[in-house]
Amino acid sequence: MEKAVARFEIRYTQFLDEHGKATGEFPDHSKNPDELVDLYRWMVLMRTYDAKAIALQRTGQLGTYAPILGQEAIEAGVGSTMHSDDVFLMTYREQGVQLMRGVTMTELFLYWSGDERGSDYQGPRRDFPICITIAAHCTHAAGAAYAIKLKGEKRAVVCALGDGATSKGDFYEGMNAAGAWKLPVIFLVTNNQWAISVPRSVQSAAETLAQKAIAAGIPNEQVDGNDIVAVRDAMKRALERARSGEGPSLIEALSYRLSDHTTADDASRYRSADEVAEAWKREPVLRLRNYLSAAGAWDRAREEALVRECNEQVQAAVQAYLDTPPPRPADMFEHLYETLPPALESQRLEALGPEPEPAGDKDTAVV
């Protein structure tokens, strides 16, 4: 005897098409254009910050930087739905969410300059530092969510990762634990189609990345990641599930990385100009602006004023960053160990340099 013992389907959500036209009735949380205007402002600020960070790197004033160009709707959708006491774990491409959660642009500039004081967020004290190691934070997210569950708190953990990270073992391990223990965690997968130079089609034979949650018993869905309304809707439902004790979720947000992987990359070596030009037609900022303009909630004068405000805000953050005194060379050893191993202690002493001679000894030497 043969029979199907289980069937699955992947839900896809879009409310705003690539031209900025509604595909159906908006959910209650996004029916008020004024609330979408506020999100549009955040998205323009993110894009302004992003362009400035690249300019700083190109002029030698910032280290290697990972752009967020094209992913502003995902960032705003996540940032606008999380509560301040939730916990956010991110990779190196979620600076927009960080800004909305209270991390300052000056802190981000410090981080990307190699100054670890940029990871000491004065805003979201419980958020984790940026995880450079691909997918390693998925297991950390499961651990943080487990702690929240043990304490009986009504909070959630959001773990943001890219499409390439879903090919790593840590991702599956984190999901398995979250599914087995019904942990309050959301895995937010930004599918921007490229893991550095490896296209999505080569990364995995799975038809969707959302379906990878099925084996872990986790509810999953796919959304248009360039549609701010769709991202918010999926995030709100997933967060409510987590906070009410119903367990984890996985959201795959479809987007496109419009810039290089990092400023150390040249994407033109592996992507065609036609492919990128086609992706620009679906980009999220213009899409939302077109919708708001058609709804009578936005116009050219407000756009010009917003661009001025964003430029001034970013420039003020840049100046604060450039005015920050550099860290001491010995600072890099301060937070690694309670007691430094001998090999690192010798390096720390070398970084400190020779101790100054006491004034009395110097005088004696002259005599």
Any idea which residues carry the catalytic annotation? 257, 261, 270
Sequence letter at residue 113: S
Cα(206)–Cα(191) distance, rounded to whole angstroms? 13
SS3 223: strand
**What is residue 6's DSSP assignment?**
-
Q: Give the residue carrying structure tokens 């254009």.
A: 33
Cα(167)–Cα(185) distance, rounded to whole angstroms? 19
Helices (H), 184-299: 200-203, 228-243, 273-280, 284-294
How close are the terminal C-alpha atoms of the chain, in Å? 105
Cα(281)–Cα(287) distance, rounded to whole angstroms? 9
Cα(299)–Cα(301) distance, rounded to whole angstroms? 6
- Give the sign of the dihedral formed by CA 166, CA 107, CA 326, CA 346: negative
CB neighbour class for 156 (10 Å; exposed up to 12, middle 13-18, buried from 19): buried
Cα(128)–Cα(141) distance, rounded to whole angstroms? 9
Q: Give the residue carrying structure tokens 């953990």.
A: 157
Q: How far is CA 18 from CA 12, 253, 279, in A?
A: 15, 15, 10
* Residues recorded for the chain: 367
**Helix (H) or strand (E) segment spanning residue 249:** strand 249-254
Residue 160 bridge partners (DSSP): 188
Sheet of strand 157-162, all strands in order from the earlier edge strand to the far edge: 11-13, 220-224, 249-254, 185-191, 157-162, 87-89
